[in-house]
Amino acid sequence: MAETETTANNHFLMAEEGISTEDKKVHGNNNTSGPRPVREKLIYGVEDRPPWPTIFLMGIQHFSISFSGCFAVPLVIAKPLCFDVDRELLNQLLGTSFFVAGITTFLQSFLGTRLPIIQGCSASFIIPVFVLFGLQGPCPPPINSNSTIEERQFVKEVAYGRMQQIQGSICVASLAQVLLGFTGLVGLLLRFIRPITITTTLLLISIEILPWASDSCGTHWGISSLCIFLVTLFSQFLNKYDIPLPRGNKLAVFTMVIIRNYCPFQVLLSVVITWILCLILTAAGAFPDDPSEYGYKARTDVYSDALRESAWFRFPYPGQFGVPKVSIAGFVGILGGVMASVVESLGDYHACAFISNTPPPPVHAINRGVAMEGLGCIAAGLWGAPSGFTSYSNNISIMSITKVASRVTVYCATGLFVISGMIFKFNAFYSGMPEPIIGGIMATTFGMVASIGFANLAFIKVDSSRNLFILGIALFLGIGIPDFLVKNPGAINTGSTVVDQVLNVILGSGMFIGGVGACILDNIVPGTADEKGLNWRKEMAGLVDDDVDDKDEEDKKLRCYDLPFGMNWIRRTHWMRCFPLSPTFVGFRTKFISLNNQI
């Protein structure tokens, strides 16, 4: 049976020649949208505990593949926050992002869905932040060795003031995400969000953030092109060839699998090789010494002073940038980012469940997952991370390659994130990465956002005139309206400064305008079930038929979604069945399934 890998949210293997009769009992027989996904045997399942060397190696894998997102998103958001003009402030921002990523990942894997999913900085928060602070003017000049104490203090006040606005907005907006999870309302949200809405939202995110990656690449196209080429080479070509190694015990076999399929390290390998080349070229004098000349930012010694002067350790703590503040415009803009990250995570839950050979996440697990992500975003706001956090589909691909889905390996990655966030030298070192390399990382990382959007089109009838119309109108709204506001800054003038700011943030976010437009049109324009993709969540999970032949076996498999403590008491307590986060929750389960069948 031939198999191919899909990307992003669809991280499962597709059968090209159909499936057997036995498989149909598991995957259903009503799927008419194309090839059916086929589950593969794992070396270690979700609840298995591999040997400690294997846990450590897989923890490094998860950390490495998620590193680029946790690194690239803060670097982009640092620009409107003015944290990039002072390397010390940028180091603090990166350290805080890594530290909070560890906290949110632990909340998700220990108390949330209980699936091995990494949490990282969400790109959906980039656009609202740029729109919000684009109305507040430019940042102060960059800090250098000749800057006075007064200039450094002024930069810190500006950066801290902007960060406080983001912190408060993230905390308050994330309460909506917590509410969706704790009340079980996320099940109702699923009724209205379909693939075309996800596609439009993610495409618009990519369209708006890729120009910033282009600016960084433009500091030296040769270096950035080499970085992109290496990522392509490692991830798309060299991983096709096996390196023969002797077989032995399970650990030796697993080590062979890691070495043979080393594409999870594609970003890290590409960065290391390109960085070493920049180091050699800098020592050889190939790059100019004048900051105003092309290619200067490819030098490796631009921020060497910041690395030498930085402390070895720094512990991020809540309120380190001051007391969070809330503005109406900031709240509205960040709320759009929160809802986009919820949509993205719902697809990741189903994809991770399929890869890890577990049943599709029940409604109580989805409720807990969304709730824990909301609490993680609130933690991000309290600690001072530049964006909210969401589930990363990157590490799901590792499980499909290595066949290791153990939850314990994610706990190991959690520890690595927390430790790296406290080692200040580590953050200072990576913040000094040559800008063309950063541009290459952004191009590959944020380019995948658009790929995720396109991948969701597999669940609808793409050539339908209805869907083409909706997608075209939504993309126009998401691109045209923000572009009009940029070219006509005074177009919105209601007489109220607050109302003007709120409208500018809402209408200036193409992701929000296009996503809402696509959602509304997709729910009001008539269409067939195939055109709307009504069964897309079941198809993504590999299930179309809700009937299960062996109920006891199904219940046993669902135990992986149980809480790690207190389950005997929870099962004995009748009222816990009414609590949406409880593993025994049945209050909305029937309604949830009914809604899925209706839409």
* Phi, psi (degrees; rounded to nearest 5) at 44: -135, 130
3 pLDDT band, cuts 50/70/90, is very low
Q: What is the DSSP letter of 143?
A: P
| In the predicted structure, residue 541 carries a pLDDT above the cut 60 | no
Can you count the helices (H) and strands (E) in the chain?
Answer: 25, 4
What span, in angstroms and rounded, lies between the C-alpha atoms of 518 and 536?
Answer: 16
3-state helix, strand, coil in the chain (%, to 5): 65, 5, 30
Label each residue of 289-321 as H, E or C: CCCCCCCHHHCCCCCHHHHHHCCCECCCCCCCC
Q: What is the 3-state secondary structure (H, E, C) of 426-466?
A: HHHHHHCCCHHHHHHHHHHHHHHHHHHHHHHHHHCCCCCHH
Query: pLDDT: is 138 or 401 the higher one?
Result: 138
> In DSSP terms, which residues pair with 3 in a beta bridge?
15
562-598: pLDDT as tens digits? 888 888 898 888 888 888 888 888 755 444 444 444 4
Q: Residue 142, CB half-sphere, CA atoms under 13 Å: how many?
A: 11
Strand partners, 423: 313
Question: Residue 14 belongs to what H/E stretch?
Answer: strand 13-15
| Interacting residues of 187 by C-beta distance below 8 A, sequence separation 6+ | 363, 366, 367, 588, 591, 592, 595
In angstroms, the CA 558 to CA 362 distance is: 8
Please write the tens of the pLDDT for every residue from 446-478: 676 677 667 778 778 888 899 999 999 999 998
Phi, psi of 288 (to 5 degrees): -70, 155
pLDDT in tens, 346-373: 767 877 787 788 877 888 888 999 999 9
Q: How many CB atoms lie within 10 A of CB 488?
A: 9
Q: Is 36 left (phi over 0), alpha (psi -120 to 50) or beta?
A: beta
Percentage above 90 pLDDT, the chain: 11
Average pLDDT over residues 143-159: 82
Least confident of 59-68, 197-206, 315-324, 433-442: 59-68
How far lies 459's CA from each of 166, 462, 542, 594, in Å?
Answer: 36, 8, 12, 20
Give the count of beta carbons closer than 10 Å to the beta carbon of residue 246.
Answer: 7
Residue 266: its pLDDT value, please? 65
Q: Write out the two tokens for 185.
A: 């309302």
Does the pLDDT value for residue 554 go beyond 80? Answer: no
Q: Is residue 121's pLDDT more than 70?
A: yes
What are the tens digits of pLDDT across the range 25-54? 333 344 444 444 445 577 788 888 888 877
The tokens for 246 are 């002797």
User: Is residue 316's pLDDT more than 50?
Assistant: yes
- The confidence score (pLDDT) of residue 584 equals 85
User: Is the pLDDT reported for residue 287 higher than 50?
Assistant: yes
Contact between 438 and 72 under an 8 Å Cβ cutoff? The reply is yes
Alpha-carbon span 343 to 218, nearest angstrom: 33
Task: Give the integer Cα–Cα distance in Å for 433 and 216.
Answer: 12
Task: Give the model's pLDDT for residue 473.
Answer: 93
Calculate the average pLDDT of the chain. 76
Nearest alpha-carbon partner for 402 in 234, 256, 237, 243: 256
Distances (CA, A) of 10 to 28, 75, 400, 490, 515: 18, 27, 11, 43, 20
Query: Is residue 385 helix, strand or coil?
Result: coil
Q: For position 411, what pLDDT does the model report? A: 92
Which phi and psi (to 5°) does residue 37 adopt?
-70, 145
Q: Is 103 helix (H, G, I), strand (E, B) or coil?
A: helix
Specify the DSSP element, H or E, that contains 233: helix 221-236
- Taking a C-beta distance cutoff of 8 angstroms, is the pair 453, 203 a contact? yes
Q: Could you tell me what percent of the chain has a pLDDT over 70?
A: 77
Burial of 584 (0-12, 13-18, 19+ CB in 10 A): middle
Residue 533: left if φ>0, alpha if ψ -120 to 50, beta else—which one? left
How far apart (Å, rounded) are the C-alpha atoms in residues 71 and 75? 6
CB 204 within 8 A of CB 475: yes
Helix axes 510-524, 126-134, angle to 10 degrees: 120
Tens digit of pLDDT for each residue in 384-433?
888 888 887 667 766 766 677 889 989 998 998 999 888 888 777 776 77
| pTM > 0.75: yes or no | no
Judge contact between 344 and 198, C-beta under 8 A.
yes
Joined together, the tokens standing for residue 274 give 């390109």
Cβ pair 369, 181 in contact under 8 A: yes
Q: What is the average pLDDT across 245-261?
A: 47
Residue 379 has pLDDT above 90, yes or no: yes
pLDDT band at 149 (very low <50, low <70, confident <90, very high): confident
Structural element, H or E, at residue 5: strand 3-5
pLDDT at 194 over 50: yes
**Least confident range of 1-5, 162-166, 457-461:** 1-5
**CA end-to-end distance (rounded Å), the chain:** 33
pLDDT at 128: 82
Query: Using CA atoms, how far apart are residues 236 and 397, in angstroms rounded to an integer?
Result: 13
